[in-house]
Structure 1
C-alpha cells in the first residue's frame, strides 16, 4: 500500500479542492495495473499505477491511458475525467495517474442474467454505439495524430504480440505456434483504415449507469493506439464466442436470441450501419488474430504471476490456464469460420 501521507501531500498540490484521504483500498479486480479507490471527505478518486518489478517493454503504459482519456473528454466517447499524471519517480515509486470515480455498475457476465431481454438489448446497443463513436473520433482534432505508428496495423501487432508471447512463454502450446504461422501467412493487405482503437473493448471495462444502459465511462485504455477499427470489433466478438462456463464467461453455448442478445452477425451489421460500412472482408483473420492476441496477453499475465509481480496472482494463474482453450478456439475459427 502506498504511503498515504506522502501521496496526500502530492495530490493536494495537484488537484483543486483535494481533501485529506480517509480511506484507500486496492480493487481486487484487474490484472495489469494495480488500481486503488481513494476516498476523501466529499469526493472519490481512482488511482491507477504501474505494477512493481521488471516489466515487459511497452507494457503497462499508464501515461498512454491518461493521455487518451484526457483527449477524449468532450467527445461522444464516455470516459472518466482525469486529474493528475505522476512522473516515474513518484511518491509510490512508480508512475500513476488519478481520475474521477464513477458511481455506476460493472456488468461482469455478458449473458446479463440480472436483466430482462429488453434491458440486455439496450446494453448491447449502447456498447456498439460507443465502439462506433470511438472509431469515428477525429484523431487530429483530439490531438492524437502521433498516438500510433503508420503502416499495416495487423502486421505490427502480430510482430509485437508474437515477441511478447515468446518472451513470456513457460510451456509451449502447439496451437499457439500454429496460429502465429497461419496469421503470418494470411495477413491481409493494408486497406488504409486508421482509427483510435481501445485494445480491450469489453463489457466489464465499462461503467454503466445504475438504472439504465447509459455508459458512464469506458475504462482500461492501456492498450489503446492508432490502428485498425476491426481489431476492436473482432476482439469483442471473439470474447462473446468463448464458452459461457469458462473463465471468461463468453456467450458460447447460450441461446442469444432467447436472451434478447444480438447475434454476432446482427452486432456486426449494426456496427457497419452506424459507421456507413457495406461489409467486412477477411473476418476470419480478424477473429483468429483476436484469439491470438488475447492468448499472448494472458501469457504475460501468467508470467507475472510466476515471477511474483501479478496484481492478483490467483486470478492470473486461473486465466493463464485458459490459454490452450483460446488457442483451440482460434484454430476452430481458421478451419470453420
Structure 2
C-alpha cells in the first residue's frame, strides 16, 4: 500500500484551519485517486493528503492537487470492528445533503464511498470551505470588540437550523419524534454505569431527578426539530476575516430532537471553566466582550418565536440534562484512560473534569448554582 506523508501544510489550507497532526497518519492516495477523479473532475499533479486534528471520532484529511482542495472524512476502521450505530458517516452525508439550500451553511458532499476495499474504511469527500475554526469559546484570537458579533452569528445559525422543515427536507425518518429526553437520559445513564467501577453520587442523583422533571410536553412531537447534537463554537467554520459562519461541521450526532437541548448544550460554555473544557464560566464576560447568557437565550427565542419566559423557567432542567450527558462522556474518556486505550494526550486532564461537571449539574438542578450567567 502506498501512502503519502507531508511535513508541512499544503498551500491551499487557509489560516485558521484546525491544526494538522504531526506526523499525519498515512492515507492511500494512490487507491483513492481513481475513485475521486470521476466525482470532482480531472486534477493536475499527484493527490496529497494531510491529516487534521480534531474530529477524532471520524478522522479527517485535507486532500489537495495543484490549486484545488477537498476534505475526506472516514470511519476510524472497518465496519466489522465498530459498534453497529457508531461513526455513522452515512447519517452525516444525509443531513449535509438535506441542508443544501436551507440557509444553514454546510459543505457540499461530492461523494460517499461505502466500499471499504478502497482505503480500508467507509468515507465521504466534501468541498473544502475556506475559513477558520475558533476552538476556544472565549475567542482569544478575535478582538474583544468583535467577539459578541461572532457569538451572535453562532446564535443565528442555530436558530436557522431549528427552523428547517425537516419533513420537507426528506428527514422524516431521521429519528424518533417522541420521547426525546426520556431516551436521552436513559441512554447516558447506561453509558455512565458502563464506564465506572463505583457509583458517582451526583450522577446517581441526576439519573433519578431528571426523568421526574422533564418539562411538561417537552417529549411531544410538536417540539421536534433537526438538532446538531454537538453545536459549539469549535464545530463552526467562520469566514477568514469577518464574523460570518461559513460552515457548520461535525454532524455525527445530529438527529430529530428538542431544540432547547441543542441550545442548552451550546450554552454550557457559560458554565464550564476556561482551559481544558474551553468555556468561560469563571471569566468576567464584559471584560472579554462576551454576551450574557440571558441575553443570548432571549436573542435565540426572538428568532425562533419562542417565549423566553417559558424557556428560562425550565432552563435548570435543560442545563442539568446536558451536564449529565457531558459528565457521562467524560467518564467514558476516564475509562479509556484507565484501560490505556485513550489516544488523545489531553485525555487524563479532560477525564478529571467528569466529577466536577456532574456535581455542577446536580447543583443547578437543586438551585445551589446559578442557571444563568449574565
Verify same fold: TM over 0.5. Answer: yes
Tell me if 1:181 matches 2:211. no
The CA distance in 2 between the partners of 1:65 and 1:116, in whole Å, is: 33
Equivalent positions of 1:163-312 (< 5 A) are 163-169=190-196, 172-191=199-218, 192-245=222-275, 247-279=276-308, 280=311, 281-303=313-335, 312=343
Q: Judging changes above 3 Å, is the alpha-carbon distance between structure 1 residues 142 and 208 closer, same or farther for their aligned structure 2 residues? A: same
The CA distance in 2 between the partners of 1:319 and 1:88, in whole Å, is: 35
Q: 1:206-264 CA deviation, whole Å, 9 max, x = no partner? A: 1101110011000000000011000110001113310114x112011211123221111
Q: Judging changes above 3 Å, is the alpha-carbon distance between structure 1 residues 82 and 299 closer, same or farther for their aligned structure 2 residues? A: farther
Pairwise CA RMSD = 2.1
Q: Judging changes above 3 Å, is the alpha-carbon distance between structure 1 residues 323 and 173 closer, same or farther for their aligned structure 2 residues? A: same
* Aligned residue among 358, 364, 370 for 1:327: 358
Moved more, 83-92 or 10-19: 10-19
Q: Judging changes above 3 Å, is the alpha-carbon distance between structure 1 residues 60 and 306 closer, same or farther for their aligned structure 2 residues? A: farther
Give the match for residue 168 of structure 2.
Answer: 141
Q: Judging changes above 3 Å, is the alpha-carbon distance between structure 1 residues 306 and 326 closer, same or farther for their aligned structure 2 residues? A: same
* Alignment gaps of 5+ in structure 1: none
> If you compute each CA radius of gyration, which structure gives the higher value, 1 or 2?
2
SS at match of 2:346: helix
Give the match for residue 158 of structure 1.
Answer: 185
The CA distance in 2 between the partners of 1:229 and 1:142, in whole Å, is: 17
Give the match for residue 132 of structure 1.
Answer: 159
* Bigger relative contact order, structure 1 or 2 (CA pairs below 8 A, ≥6 apart): 1
The CA distance in 1 between the partners of 2:67 and 2:315, in whole Å, is: 49
Q: Is the 8 A contact 2:29 2:48 kept in 1?
A: no
| Structure 1 position 9, deviation (Å) | 1.8
* Aligned residue among 132, 137, 143 for 1:105: 132
Q: Is the 8 A contact 2:43 2:66 kept in 1?
A: no
| Structure 1 position 120, deviation (Å) | 0.6
| Structure 1 position 14, deviation (Å) | 3.3
What TM-score, normalized by structure 2, do the two folds share?
A: 0.83
| Structure 1 position 17, deviation (Å) | 3.4
Moved more, 92-101 or 11-20: 11-20
The CA distance in 1 between the partners of 2:164 and 2:76, in whole Å, is: 30
* Aligned residue among 298, 304, 315 for 2:346: 315
What TM-score, normalized by structure 1, do the two folds share?
A: 0.92
| Structure 1 position 150, deviation (Å) | 2.0
Q: Judging changes above 3 Å, is the alpha-carbon distance between structure 1 residues 90 and 271 closer, same or farther for their aligned structure 2 residues? A: farther
* Aligned residue among 27, 38, 43 for 1:13: 38
Q: Is the 8 A contact 2:323 2:361 kept in 1?
A: yes
* Alignment gaps of 5+ in structure 2: 1-25
SS at match of 1:256: coil
Moved more, 37-46 or 209-218: 37-46
